[in-house]
Structure 1
Amino acid sequence: MGDIVAWVIATIVTIPLIGWYIIYITTVKISKNKSKSIRLASDWTTVLFMAAVYFIMVELWEKSFFWIILALFFFIAILFTWIHWKLSGDIETSKLFRGIWRFNFLLFFVVYLLLFSYGLLSRIFFS
Structure 2
Amino acid sequence: MRFIFFTARAVTGDRKRSLRLAMDITTALLIGCVAVLFNRIFSNSFGLYGILLVMLIGGGLLGNLQFRKRGQVDVRKIFRAIWRLGFFAMGIMYIVLMAAGIAQHMFRV
TM-score, scaled to structure 2: 0.84
Structure 1 counterpart of 2:13: 32
Gaps of 5+ in 1: 1-19
Question: 2:82 and 2:70 mapped to 1: Cα distance?
Answer: 16
Secondary structure in 2 aligned to 1:57? helix
* Pairs within 5 Å for 1:11-90: 20-65=1-46, 66-90=48-72
Identity %: 26
Question: Using the alignment, how far apart are the partners of 1:118 and 1:34 within structure 2?
Answer: 35
TM-aligned CA deviation for residue 24 of structure 1: 1.2
Name stretches of at least 5 consecutive residues in structure 2 with no aligned partner. none
SS at match of 2:96: helix
Is the aligned partner of 1:123 residue 2:109?
A: no
Using the size of structure 1 for normalisation, the TM-score is 0.73
Deviation for aligned residue 1:90: 1.7
Could you report, residue by residue, the CA deviation over 1:40-65 in whole angstroms, capped at 9, with x for unpaired residues?
Answer: 11112222111101111122122112
Q: Report how many aligned residue pairs link the two structures.
A: 107
